[in-house]
Structure formats: C-alpha cells, structure tokens
Structure 1
C-alpha cells in the first residue's frame, strides 16, 4: 500500500515538474542565442541560473501545458519543439546585431583593416573586426539603455500565449526566417552604402593619380588615406546609430509580433 502511494506521489511530482520543464527548455534555448545574453563573457552557469529564475517567475502566469508524459517519445518531441521555438525567437532578436555586424565587416574591408585580422597568427580568421566590435559595444549599451532585456522577457511571455506548448512548429516561422535573411542584407546594405560610396570614391581618386603619376607609391599613401576617410565616415554616421537601432528594433518587433499572432491563429 505504501509503495503504491509512493509511486502515485512520484507521478504527481513528475506532472508538476512538467509545468517548469517546458518553459525552461524554451527559455534556455532563447538565452543561448539572444543578443548580449549569449556573449561568451557570460558564463554558462549564470545563463542557466537566469533561465531557472525566469522559469520560476513566469511559470505562474503561463498557460497550463498539455498532459504529456515527459519520459515518452511525445515528451521528447515536445522538448525538442520548445528548443526549436526558443532558437527561432533568439535568432529573430539577434537580427539587429547581425545587421550592424555585417556593416562592420563591410566597412572594415573597405578601409583595409580586415587585412590585419586575416594575417593575425594568434586569432586567425575567427576574430571579429575592430569596427564590428565598436558597433557591438555601442549596440550593447543601447540594448541595455532601452530596456532590451525586459523586451526579451516580454517576447518570451507572448510566445507562450500565442505559441503554447504542443502547438508544433508553424510554416510561418520557416517563411519568416527566409524573409529575415533578406531583411538583414537589405538593412546592412542601406546603412553601409554612404561609407562604401566614400571609400570607393577615395580609391577611385587614388587610382586616377596612379595612372597620372605611375611613380607614386600608391600603397604607402592610399592605405592611410582610406583608413582616415573610413574613420571620418564612421564619426559622421555615429550620431544616427541610436535612431537606426530603434527603427530596426521596431521593425523587428512588429515582424515578430505578426509571426506570433499568425502562429496563434494557425
């Protein structure tokens, strides 16, 4: 009799833990890809503790999950589903940082500063450019100053409301990823276009000088002028960085809200 009661209590505890397990899988997957929170300077233990804290804080307000056996194949598929949903949300929130990372790579390549990274025997090609790191630091400060971490928590809660546990992956999510890649490339092109035009104009002028005076050492004069022109262009465009960041963030949140609502109705 006692053994049956113990098994019944263990089953009840397991059912109660499911209320926390499904949100934890989604939150942990989102924190692994969310901007600033996925940085390598944040230890994995801190990230796990943050996921546990968010799970405990949000679990009481979340919709009741379906009765799925956690140790069954259906429970395994539900866990993988929550991980996939969290990764989709994390990648979506990361897109604004990806835009400016591409801008940093483009500008750094035009300035000639990427050659130092490619020829670095210590870091190799895996290290990011100096311009990209500059944009990342500024965006991280803007992210925290505009309460971006609270927006991440809000997106998490709304995802459980519109995209509950056991609802499956929607076709709209896959289509939105393809649209997001095109949106990132278009936004990065528009932001970096003035700097690329200035750098191309400088290189074109030095190309004409080289044709007029072949004895001129183009490398010793052209590289410093290209770097100075690039730094001046970055300095002139930095005041527009907060406005561009807020505009891209609003567009991203609007698209993400449309995705969640379409998933909820689908």
Structure 2
C-alpha cells in the first residue's frame, strides 16, 4: 500500500454509519405515532435521545443492512422506506387507543356530555371529551402495567427481522392497515353497544312519557337522568376495560405477526 494513501476513506465511515442510520429512521418514525411515545408531554429531545439509545442497543443485533451507496438516490429511497415502515407500525400500535377514544366520544354524545370538553394539546387535538381523557389515563396505566414499552421494542426488532432494509413496501401492508381501520370501528361499536342501548332505552321512555303527559318538561327531567344512567353504565363497564384492552391488544399483535410474515414471504 502506498505511503500517501489514507487509511480510511469518508465512504467507509458512511458505510459503517448505515447500520445505525436505518434503525434510527425507523425508530424515530415509530415514536412519532406509537402510544405514549408520541404524546406531547414527551419532548422531541427526549424522543431523539431514546431513539439514539435504542439504536445503539439494537444495531449490533439486527441483520446486516444491504450495501447501498450512501450518497445516492437508492439511499434516499431506503430512508423513506424506513420512515414509512416506522409510521405503519406506530399507527398499528396506536389503534387500540383509538378504539377507546371513539368509545369515549360516542358515550359522551349519548349522555349529552359532548359539550363538556377540555383543552387537549398534548394529544395533538384542540379538545377531547372528559370520558376520552378517563379512558386514555386508564389505558396508559394498563399499557405500562403489561410492559407495553418493551412490547413496542420487541415489535420493532421483529420488523427488522421480517422487513429488512431494502425489502420494500408490499401491498399486504396497506391492505392489512385498511382492514385494521375497519376493525377499529367494529371494536368500538361492540364496546359501546350496551351503553348506547341503555341510553336509547332511557330516551325512548322519556319520549313516551312526554307523549302521555305533554305538560311534563322533558329536558329538565330527562337530561339529568340520561347523565346519571350514562355514568352508571360507565361504572358497570369499567371493570371489563382491562380484559377488553388485553383482548384487543392480542388481536392487534396477531394481525401484526401475520402482516410481518406475509411481508417476509413476498
């Protein structure tokens, strides 16, 4: 080797950094939508530090990335691919929280408490109902109690095993996501169905009483009774919240496993 030849070239450093760059892009994209990690209370600096720490821990255990020229169009497409996969996984993990957010909104509307809202910039929305906040707090505690943060890391690692860098995005991923969105609405309907039925029955009874006795003030009597009935229904259904959450989480993980295996088989 000539004496004036440098020991390391800049491209060698770029190729060495690729094994850290691809996981970092996917992890940061996942943290942008994953439950609790995407919460506004967790600042961007903390998310970046968590992503860097997780990248350093997982980089050596992940499959070797393909040899892609760092400063090329292929590297740009690979980076966008990692961001898309991370967003897809984060959105999939967020779906269970979305189910109970819909439950809170529907129950609040049926109770007539949809106007009782609070400013909620933490979740990226202008306002949320009080019951949605209640369900979110309970789900956050359940998420931490079942080591959901470790489960998120496990899903992230399995995604690199089944969807390595450069494998591309497949039709099955988008099809599964579309079916998952339908699954969200179906699960929310099934959970809210008992409460909605009870509230409809109460409103039907007061409507019938108003027809029998038109002089009775339906709003002054029916509105408080609807709220009390709704609170009673929420009180009776809250003990089933952990079981429903675990069942929905198990179904979600089964769908994710099927999605990853189908992507690996393509």
Deviation at 1:251, TM superposition (A): 0.5
SS at match of 2:70: coil
Give the structure 2 partner of residue 66 of structure 1: 66
SS at match of 1:128: strand
d(CA) in 2 for partners of 1:248, 1:116: 28
Cα 1:136–1:61 change in 2 (3 A) is same
Deviation at 1:9, TM superposition (A): 2.8
Give the structure 1 partner of residue 107 of structure 2: 107
Which residues of 2 match residues 1-266 of structure 1 at below 5 A? 5=6, 8-117=8-117, 126-266=126-266
d(CA) in 2 for partners of 1:223, 1:18: 62
Q: Is the 8 A contact 2:11 2:70 kept in 1?
A: no
RMSD of aligned residue pairs (Cα, Å)? 1.8
What are the ranges of 5 or more consecutive residues in structure 2 without an aligned counterpart? none
d(CA) in 1 for partners of 2:15, 2:5: 17
SS at match of 1:221: helix
What are the ranges of 5 or more consecutive residues in structure 1 without an aligned counterpart? none
SS at match of 1:153: helix
Cα 1:88–1:228 change in 2 (3 A) is same
Deviation at 1:220, TM superposition (A): 1.6
Q: Which has the higher helix share?
A: 1
d(CA) in 2 for partners of 1:247, 1:68: 41
Cα 1:122–1:74 change in 2 (3 A) is closer
d(CA) in 2 for partners of 1:102, 1:253: 20
Q: Report the count of equivalent residues.
A: 262
Deviation at 1:2, TM superposition (A): 8.2
TM-score by length of 2: 0.94
Q: Per-residue displacement from partner, 1:30-64 (whole Å, max 9, x unpaired)? A: 01100111111111111111111110010010000
Q: Is the 8 A contact 2:103 2:188 kept in 1?
A: yes
Deviation at 1:71, TM superposition (A): 2.0
d(CA) in 2 for partners of 1:13, 1:3: 19
Q: Is the 8 A contact 2:116 2:129 kept in 1?
A: no
Cα 1:217–1:76 change in 2 (3 A) is same
Deviation at 1:115, TM superposition (A): 2.2
SS at match of 1:113: coil
d(CA) in 1 for partners of 2:166, 2:173: 15
Cα 1:75–1:121 change in 2 (3 A) is closer
